């Protein structure tokens, strides 16, 4: 119970991102699945494409959360994993939670 509460408190931003990204990435990849079905309407097309869509959606979302660990400049933008970018904030939340819930 304590670990669940810790993860929900510290990772709330990332959990919201996972839900939202699943909607958008799933929609885009689902459209590709629909196109695949239109081109090759076999019995195995939907299950195989569905497995690919699910795997790819999760992989993209988790990769965006944690990669790259260090900031990488790309033109006028700086790429960094969402969780890594919030590391100072996460550390403060984690230490406050640890002090209040575990060490007392």
Is a pLDDT exceeding 80 seen at residue 1?
Answer: no
Nearest to 86 by CA among 57, 60, 61, 66: 66
- Output phi, psi for 73, to 5 deg: -75, 130
More confident residue, 38 or 19: 38
pLDDT, tens digit, for every residue of 44-57? 888 888 898 888 88
Nearest to 32 by CA among 46, 19, 44: 46
Distance CA 53, CA 33 (A): 8
Can you give the pLDDT at residue 38? 92
Residue 73, strand partner residues: 78
Is a pLDDT exceeding 80 seen at residue 40?
Answer: yes
Distance CA 58, CA 40 (A): 25
Q: What is the CA radius of gyration of the chain?
A: 19
Is a pLDDT exceeding 80 seen at residue 13?
Answer: yes
């Amino acid at each position: 119970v304590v670990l669940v509460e810790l993860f929900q408190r510290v990772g709330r931003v990332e959990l919201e991102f996972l839900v939202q990204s699943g909607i958008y990435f799933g929609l885009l990849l689902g459209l590709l699945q629909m196109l695949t079905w239109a081109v090759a309407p076999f019995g195995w097309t939907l299950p195989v494409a569905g497995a690919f869509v699910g795997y790819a959606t999760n992989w993209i979302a988790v990769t965006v959360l944690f990669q790259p660990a260090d900031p990488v400049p790309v033109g006028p933008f700086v790429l960094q994993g969402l969780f890594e970018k919030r590391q100072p904030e996460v550390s403060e939340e984690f230490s406050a939670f640890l002090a209040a819930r575990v060490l007392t």
